Amino acid sequence: RRQKPCTLRELELTVSELGLGYESDETVLLRYCSGKCTAHRHNYDITMEHMMRTGFKKKGRKDKVINGPCCRPTAFEKDFSFLDNNSRYHTIQNVSAKNCGC
Partner 1 sequence: MGLSAGATGLYFPQNEYIETMYVGQLAGTPVLQVHAMLDSDSERPHFYLCWMSPLKRQAYSSWFNLDISTGVLSLNKTLEESDFSWSVKKLFLHAMVLPNFTKKSQCGNKNSARIMLDFVNATMPQCAQTDMKELCFPHRDTSNPHIMENRFPGALRQLRRLTRNYSVLLPADTLVVMAPLDREESECYRLLLVCTVRTETLITKVETSLDVYVNDEDDNAPYVNGTDTADIIISYNRTKGGSFGTLFVFDRDLTPIFPIDKTHNKYVGTLLNNDPWIKDTFDIKGTFSEKKAAVGGIRESVHDYQLVLKRNLYVTENRVVQLDYLVNDTTYPGLEGTVLLHFNVTILPVHIPSCSVSSQAGKVCVENCLEFDGFSVTYRLEVPDKNMSAESQSCFAAISITQASDGMWGLLYVNDSEALRKPECQDLQYLVVAQEEHTQLETSTQVHIILDEGKTVPESQQFLSCAENRQRGDCESMRGLGATTGRCQWRQGTDKGISENYSTCSPDLRTCPDSVCDAVESKDMSICPQDCTKEPVIGGHERGLSGNGIKACYGTCYCFSEKCFCEKEDIEEVICDDMC
Partner 2 sequence: SVSLASGAPGSPSTASGPGAQPEWVDCIQASDMCNQNPYCSSRYRVMRQCLVGKEKEAMLDNNRECQAALEVLLVSPLYDCRCKRGMKKELQCLQNYWTIHMGLTEGGDMEDSSPYEPVAPNRHPDAFRLASISSGMLTVAPKGFHCPDAERNCNPCLDAAKACNLNGSCKRQRSTYIATCSKEDPNKGETCSKKRCHKALRLFLDRVPTEFSHRLLFCPCQTEGCAERRRQTIVPDCSYKDKEKPNCLELRGICRQDPLCRSRLADYIVNCWTTPHTVSTCPNQDNHQACLASYARLIGTEITPNYVDSSFSNWTISPWCTCKGSGNQEEECLNFLRYFTDNTCLRNAIQAFGYGIDNTQNKNVSVPGPSATSKTGPDWSTGISEHPSVTIPKYPEPRDGGLDLGEDHSPCLCANVWALLPS
**Using the rule CB under 8 A, is 28 a contact of partner 2?**
yes
Query: In sequence order, which ranges of 1-102 are alpha helices (DSSP H)?
Result: 43-50, 56-58
Among 8, 37, 69, 80, binds partner 2 (CB under 8 A): 80
Q: Considering only CA atoms, which of 53, 99, 52, 47 is closest in space to residue 77?
A: 99
Q: What track of x and - describes contact with partner 1 for positions 13 through 52 (by CB under 8 A)?
A: ------xxxxx------------xxxxxxxx-xx--xx-x
Binding site for partner 2 (CB under 8 A): 12, 25-29, 78-83, 85, 87, 89, 91
